[in-house]
Structure 1
Amino acid sequence: MKRIFALLFAMVLFINLASAQQDPQATKILNAMSAKYKTMKAFKATFSQTMESSSAKSKETVEGNILVSGPKYRLAVSGQEVISDGKLMWTYLKDVNEVTITESDPEAEAMSPSKIFDMYKKGYKYAYTGPEKGADGVTYDVIEMAPQDRNNPIFKVRLYINQKDKSLKSWKMFRNNGNRYTYTIKNFQANPTLAADTFSFNKARYKGVSVVDLR
């Protein structure tokens, strides 16, 4: 789970961020980005997640997809499905055909995919670092955020926001252990049609599944 949400800074820049007040330009961009997604009842996206380890000198990329509606989400990546209705969480492991049911953990949920568009509003300092043209030829506004809590295992988050339509293209999370996670949104669909049981685990669809209830 933590590896999926980790699903979210050069030292000099980090020091400047930690001591600075909120950057008004960054606030304006972040508010516009957040407002864009707030207008959607739900969204669906495919994405790639790349994990780079400085200690192991390795790089691994996996593909995934996600559905989000308010605090609810359904995430599938690397043989694992994570479903949350905001109160309960189901974690399904395909290779062992097992689902674990737990109550939602507020700490883990703070870094959940449904919160990435609002995470800047509490517990972070941030600054606009300038525009950057991506490999796709699109210009992105780059914003770096640093958590106010020095015990946070993530010491920097870098967001790439489309300068034209304010959509979030990708984000990088830098962890204290040297690992770096990059999430890139690929296909995006606003307000998809959702089944009634989208954000719950339907046991009937997983023949022979073993259920571990830890509530």
Structure 2
Amino acid sequence: MIKKHILFIALFASAVFSYGQGSDKAKALLDEVYNKVKSYKNIYIDFQSTIENTEADLKQDTNGNVTLSGEKYVLNYLGAQQLYDGKKVYTIVPENEEVTIEDVNEEDDNVSPSKMLTFYKTGHNYQWDIEQNVGGRKIQYVKLTPIDSNTEIKSILLGIDTQTKHIYKLIQTGNNGTKTTITVNSFKTDQPISGAMFTFNEKKYEDKGYYITRN
């Protein structure tokens, strides 16, 4: 579950887009987002995630946060923590007292935020969409539509704060009717963080009696 949703979360912090067809205005705005985000040493995002499917009578609201520095990240979401140290992915689930350690497959786009974003690098049309006023902030939406009709994704709306050039909201609509919305509550940059933040301490969890598996 964590791997699935970190894809959406990562878009806020590493908006790495290469564009298909669409409006020049949309491309220019996304370029500004990219350049702004890439200038930061690290990013901390506190967010709310909402998953809805009317037909399935599903609505789930979850809060989480993620800290990113280059390729590395620490994600706290759905009662678990996922850490990527640049080489391995560690998923820590306190409820189950379990840790899963996975090697990184360079061909796998579902490993780190930056790699997962390669999905968005090609194969999308994009267009200028609506503008909203949210608490005095102008949020401009850009719509991305997959060119491949066989994809599970119907469309993605990125809401961008026109002043800060930060992504405020992401709305993904699936072909199965499921809508995933991620809203940024707090976006902080260049925070003082410990170098050990992205280091997994295996002994710490062994001492706690956690079951550790390696895939």
Counting matched residue pairs gives 200
2:136: which partner in 1? 137
Does residue 95 of the first structure (1) align with residue 95 of the second (2)? yes
Indicate conservation of the 8 Å contact 2:33/2:165, yes or no.
Answer: yes
Q: 1:187, CA displacement in angstroms?
A: 1.6
- For the residue of structure 2 that corresponds to 1:122, the secondary structure is coil
Show the counterpart of 1:151.
Answer: 150
Gaps of 5+ in 1: 9-19
**Contact 1:6–1:154 (Cα < 8 Å) also in 2:** no
The residue type equivalent to 1:108 in the other structure is N
Q: What's the % identity of the aligned pairs?
A: 28
How many angstroms apart in 1 are the aligned matches of 2:118 and 2:147?
A: 16
CA contact 1:90–1:102 (8 Å) conserved in 2: yes
Shift of 1:123: 3.1
2 CA distance for matches of 1:192 and 1:36?
Answer: 16
The one-letter code matched in structure 1 to 2:110 is A
Match of residue 12 from structure 1: none
**Aligned-partner Cα distance in 2 for 1:84–1:188:** 20
Q: CA deviation at 1:94?
A: 1.6
Letter in 2 for 1:158: L
1:32 partner SS: helix
Structure 1 counterpart of 2:212, one-letter code: V
Which residue does the alignment assign to 2:209?
Answer: 208
* Aligned twin of 1:194: 193
CA distance in 1, matches of 2:30, 2:117: 8
Which is further off, 118-127 or 64-73?
Answer: 118-127
What secondary structure is seen at the aligned counterpart in 2 of 1:126? strand
Aligned to 2:13: none
> What's 1:17 paired with?
none
Task: Report the counterpart of residue 56 of structure 1 in structure 2.
Answer: 56
In the TM superposition, residue 172 of structure 1 has moved relative to its aligned partner by 1.0
Assess, with a 3 A threshold, how the Cα gap between structure 1 residues 188 and 114 changes in structure 2: closer, same or farther.
farther
Give, in whole Å, the separation in 1 of the partners of 2:39 and 2:119.
17
Residue 4 of structure 1 deviates from its aligned partner by: 2.2
Shift of 1:184: 0.9
Structure 1 distance, partners of 2:36, 2:156, is 20
CA contact (8 A) 1:127 1:145 kept: yes
CA contact (8 A) 1:82 1:89 kept: yes
| Matched-pair contact (CA < 8 Å) for 2:153–2:174 | yes
Give the Å deviation of 1:204: 3.9
Could you tell me how far apart the structure 2 residues matched to 1:103 and 1:147 are?
30
Q: Per-residue deviation at 1:132?
A: 1.8
Superposed, 1:37-116 pairs within 5 Å as 37-104=37-104, 106-109=108-111, 113-114=113-114
Query: What is the letter of the counterpart of residue 174 of structure 2?
Result: R
Structure 2 unaligned residues grouped into runs of 5+: 10-19
Letter paired with 1:210: Y
Contact 1:25–1:128 (CA<8 Å) still a contact in 2? yes
Determine the C-alpha separation between the residues in 1 that align with 2:125 and 2:87: 29
| CA distance in structure 2 between the aligned counterparts of 1:118 and 1:107, rounded to whole angstroms | 7
CA distance in 2, matches of 1:99, 1:146: 37
CA RMSD of aligned residues (A): 2.3
